[in-house]
Amino acid sequence: MKSLLIVISIHHNNTGKIAETIAKVLDAQIKKPSQINPEEITEFDLIGFGSGIYDYTTHKALSNLADKLPNVNNKKAFIFSTGGLSNKRKAQKDHSKLREKLESKGYKIVNEFQCKGFNTNSFLKYFGGMNKGRPNDEDHKNAKEFAEKLMQNE
């Protein structure tokens, strides 16, 4: 299975660190949205879209890229993110815009992952930020298990 991760991680590279853990399991390349030629995506069997959460959603570079992707027929994809806060319901909401775009292009979103990431946005910087040390070992362990499940469901 040939896998690709497309990742934008602009705040503290929190999502970038999670991407590295997932990439190791999947033996995947990691690229930024700006490095993607939309046509090359057809070479891959599984594509992961990763981003920090900024103002309740994934980075617009991912949805802009999704707009440019060619239509596919049930190609497998997954979404992962780090956020200041995180739970399953919130992740579903944070990912909804990107998920809908990808589904409209024919992608099948096989699973989604989110964990907390260090956050010094806005006033938080005056208090040393929130979620210091996140993603932590437990987050990486969960990300690894998430990736292993993706492999099993191949």
Ligand X SMILES: Cc1cc2nc3c(=O)[nH]c(=O)nc-3n(C[C@H](O)[C@H](O)[C@H](O)COP(=O)(O)O)c2cc1C
Q: Using CB atoms, what's the residue nearest to ligand X? A: 117
Number of neighbouring beta carbons within 10 Å of residue 88: 9
Give least dist CB 32 to ligand X, A: 12
Among 85, 100, 132, 136, binds ligand X (CB under 6 A): 85
Instruction: Classify residue 94 by burial, with Cβ atoms within 10 Å: 0-12, 13-18, 19+.
Output: buried
Pairing of strands 29-31, 57-58: unpaired
Is the CB of residue 54 less than 8 Å from the CB of residue 84?
A: no
Give least dist CB 43 to ligand X, A: 26
Among 22, 65, 77, 84, binds ligand X (CB under 6 A): 84
Among 30, 31, 36, 54, binds ligand X (CB under 6 A): 54
